[in-house]
Amino acid sequence: MSKIEFKTVKPGQWLGLLGGGQLGRMFCMAAQSMGYRVLVLDPVANGPAGSVADDQILADYMDDQGLARLAQRCVGVTTEFENVPALALDNLSKSIPVSPSAFSVGVAQNRLEEKAYISACGVPVAPHAAIRKSADIDDSLAYLLPGIVKTARLGYDGKGQVRVKTLDEVRKAFSDLNEVECVLEKRLTLQKEMSVIVARDHKGECATFPVAENHHRKGILATTIVPARIDDAMAAQARANAISIAGALDYVGVLCVEFFVVDELGLVVNEIAPRPHNSGHYSIDACVTCQFEQQARILAGLPLGDTRQHSPAVMVNLLGDLWYGEDGSENEPAWEKVLAIPEVKLHLYGKEQARVGRKMGHITVIAETMERALIVAQTVRDILGIGDDDD
């Protein structure tokens, strides 16, 4: 928990943000729509968040002077990416409210700590084991094969992960990952991948968004379908598990809990993200209150908003690949064709340079029925030349 108590603050006050990416950009827009001003601290100029924020401190996340200026001007600080130094949040919490806490972020930054904490909540996780040194790789790990070796820290969007089938492959993967602390996780037979976003305020009040069904391509989220195509009992269980995890962490802010639905174990948690999440972007257009407004409400000490979804939605990620032809030439995607479809909402993140695999924006399809939303989403993919998902 932060050392400074959260209080309700009036519009016109400054809210602080660590991080300058697209999640921060959407937070800025939501907070500004409610009348707040946003001060971003980020080491990169003209980033997605900094370009729309009311002001920016150009500094490293551990720069003492930059953090002091942020604390002096703002009534509270939040973050838009999970790898912000927990120590920076801890330092800020000594003078202003911080959401989420350094403790919560610290747990989420280490897969082994994360899994231990989730398990302690009584929520299942995938079978796994720690690999801290080469000697840890022995026959006792055979039950986890085939599996995935993941770095304990700093992995996202498929980075820091190696699929393995044998112990020799585990050893090679550990070596290739520079022998940093890792986790070997059993590869499970997945029926679905899902996520639940939960907003929890400083009073312990919670609001969950509808369960999202996620599909990936090359380890990066490609498509989100909401509500997920699961039965009501599983949806209720996923939301209850997300609330339990947020409560156990005494979490304050917006938290994403990612789930696997597996043949062997049913519903298990894959990982948590202590921030708004790519799979929740649909909420901007399809819910009464979006995940970014919830983030601003919590930081400003306001009541949580209604998370009710008013329309079926399909979100399609837009990666930098779309800006390049097969011959490597740069081309602007055919937005005029996409936007001729009435159910389509386009969100671009203002990034100056498109790169292969880089998240440049997303499209949300809002329709009267899920069947129609899926048809339109496929039409959008066809127009833009987006390939099929891996799952």
- pLDDT of residue 120 exceeding 60, the answer is yes
DSSP designation for 282:
T
- How is residue 92 written in tokens? 């800020």
Q: Is 111 annotated as a binding residue?
A: yes
> How many C-alpha atoms does 352 have within 13 Å on its Cβ side?
7
The CATH class of the 190-384 domain is alpha beta
Give the separation between CA 184 and CA 126, rounded to whole angstroms. 10
- The C-alpha angle 18, 225, 299, rounded to 5 degrees, equals 25
Are 380 and 372 a contacting pair, CB within 8 Å?
Answer: no
Strands 77-79 and 147-151: unpaired
What residue ranges do the domains of the chain occupy?
14-108, 127-186, 190-384
Separation CA 196–CA 239 (nearest Å): 6
Summarize pLDDT for 196-225 with one digit per residue, the tens. Answer: 999 999 999 999 999 999 999 988 999 999
Domain 127-186 in the same topology as domain 14-108: no
pTM of the model: 0.94
Q: Are 2 and 93 in contact (CB under 8 A)?
A: yes
How far is it, in rounded angstroms, from Cα 257 to Cα 269?
7
| Residue 153 annotated as lining a ligand binding site | no
pLDDT at 156: 59
The dihedral over CA atoms of 235, 241, 244, 245, expressed in degrees to the nearest 10, equals -130
Overall CATH class of domain 127-186: alpha beta
193 labeled binding residue = yes
3-state percent helix, strand, coil for the chain, nearest multiple of 5: 30, 30, 40
Q: Return the DSSP state at 359.
A: E
371 is in an annotated binding site: no
Is residue 359 marked as binding? Answer: no
Is 82 annotated in a binding site? The answer is no
The response to whether 185 counts as a known ligand-binding position is yes
Query: Roughly how many angstroms between the first and final C-alpha of the chain, as a whole number?
Result: 38
Query: What local confidence, expressed as pLDDT, does residue 301 receive?
Result: 97
Report the percentage of the chain scoring pLDDT > 70. 98
pLDDT, one tens digit per residue, over 146-196 is 999 999 987 655 568 999 999 999 999 999 999 999 999 999 989 999 999
Annotated binding residue 271:
yes
Please give the pLDDT value at position 387: 87
Query: Quick check: 101 pLDDT over 70?
Result: yes
CATH no., domain 14-108: 3.40.50.20
Task: Please name which of 370, 377, 372 lies closest in space to residue 229, comparing C-alpha atoms.
Answer: 370
The answer to whether 155 is a known ligand-binding residue is yes
- Residue 270, marked binder: yes
Concatenate the DSSP letters of all residues of 299-354 into one string: HTTPPPPP--B-S-EEEEEEEGGGGB-TTS-B----HHHHTTSTTEEEEE---SS-
Amino acid at 274: P
Tokens standing for residue 35 = 């009348």
165 labelled ligand-binding: no
* φ/ψ (deg, to 5) at 174: -60, -40
Greater confidence, 326 or 224? 224
Q: Name the DSSP class of 125.
A: B
Question: In this structure, are residues 150 and 128 in contact, taking their beta carbons and an 8 Å threshold?
Answer: no
Q: Please provide residue 282's backbone torsions phi and psi, each rounded to the nearest 5 degrees.
A: -55, -25
Residue of 212, 298, 295, 198 lying closest to 248 (CA atoms): 198
The count of C-alpha atoms lying within 13 angstroms of the C-alpha of 127, restricted to the half-sphere facing its C-beta, is 16
pLDDT, position 325: 85
The verdict on whether residue 324 carries a ligand-binding annotation is no
160 is in an annotated binding site: yes
